[in-house]
Amino acid sequence: MKNHIWRPLYVVIVFVVLILIVRHFLVPKDFGIGERGYMYGLHRKSNEEEWKAFKVKYRSEEYCKDCHSDKYSSIMQTPHAIIQCENCHGPAIDHPADPPKLSIDRSRAQCLRCHYPLPYPTSGRSNIRGIDPDKHNPDIECVMCHNPHKPTLEGMK
Ligand code: HEC
Ligand code: HEC
Ligand code: HEC
Ligand code: HEC
């Protein structure tokens, strides 16, 4: 074969060898497609154990019901019923042992996560009633007027 064929072929060979070398160092040793094929085996085997050891952090609102029954029964009557308590108060897995109290965030930012108007046409997010934070009672914490566990007009402070 002529030179002008060999030269590009060398380039290709060097390229493939480079890929194999890089792959050798980057792909973990226990990355296995052997056992269960590409569809189910395309992951690091040890990652299975890592997920089994993953500590769950959230309990869901059923857990709060008995100890904070006032908050629970109140919020359940309102549109905020669909929000998990831990969405606002953080993970409660070992509460009340550790931490004895969950955090309480009274900032406007806490509420604006959901009530800042976002025009996502295909998402339910845009159905949440939004307020313009620059015009809607700026600088005053929302919870000075609205009760997060009873956000309806009757619940206003
Ligand atoms: C076994 C009873 C128990 C359960 C279950 C429980 N809590 Fe508590 N919680 C307490 C106690 C006791 C305190 C500390 C006393 C207090 O301030 O009411 C506390 C404190 C708090 C506080 C801080 C109150 C403050 O005034 O600073 C928040 C917020 C809270 N809990 C939220 C939750 C949420 C959300 C859940 C469910 C995911 C939950 N708790 C589940 C018993 C419980
Ligand atoms: C939308 C966010 C939000 C959700 C959802 C929410 N909270 Fe709260 N929670 C707050 C805020 C903000 C305060 C502080 C209110 C204030 O100071 O007026 C608070 C205060 C509290 C307190 C302590 C203050 C008090 O009045 O005793 C407890 C306990 C509590 N929440 C429990 C719960 C439980 C239980 C749930 C679920 C059933 C829940 N919260 C759901 C935002 C939320
Ligand atoms: C995780 C999302 C989320 C967070 C955080 C949140 N809200 Fe809401 N809020 C909703 C949804 C969903 C509704 C029901 C749909 C609607 O009315 O727009 C709602 C409804 C409301 C309403 C109207 C209630 C009515 O029927 O008149 C008020 C007022 C309100 N929220 C205030 C607050 C305040 C104050 C905070 C912060 C303490 C807060 N929200 C935090 C999701 C959220
Ligand atoms: C000074 C008191 C006050 C403060 C502070 C306040 N609001 Fe309001 N909010 C009201 C009143 C009164 C209404 C009902 C009349 C209206 O729609 O303006 C209302 C209405 C709402 C509504 C329903 C709007 C609708 O279209 O029906 C939402 C959502 C809301 N507020 C969220 C918030 C959030 C989030 C904050 C904090 C960033 C906040 N508010 C701060 C007094 C307050």
Closest CA to 109 of 87, 85, 142: 142
Distance (Å) of CA 6 to CA 10, 17, 24: 6, 16, 27
Dist. CA 144 → ligand 2 center (Å): 13
Dist. CA 65 → ligand 1 center (Å): 10
Torsion, Cα 149 152 154 156, to 10 degrees, reads 70
Atom of ligand 4 lying closest to residue 144 CA: 5
Tokens of residue 61, six digits: 């609102």
Among protein residues, the one whose CA lies closest to atom 2 of ligand 2:
88
Residue 142 pLDDT > 90: yes
Contact yes or no for 78/85 (Cβ under 8 A): no
Residue 127 pLDDT > 70: yes
Q: How far apart are CA 60 and CA 92, in angstroms?
A: 8
Dist. CA 59 → ligand 1 center (Å): 12
Among protein residues, the one whose CA lies closest to atom 38 of ligand 2:
72
Dist. CA 89 → ligand 2 center (Å): 7
Among protein residues, the one whose CA lies closest to atom 31 of ligand 4:
131
pLDDT 10s digits, 76-124:
999 999 999 999 999 999 999 999 999 999 999 999 999 999 989 899 9
Task: Please tell me the predicted confidence (pLDDT) of residue 1.
Answer: 64
Atom of ligand 3 lying closest to residue 88 CA: 5
Determine what percent of the chain is predicted with pLDDT higher than 90: 78
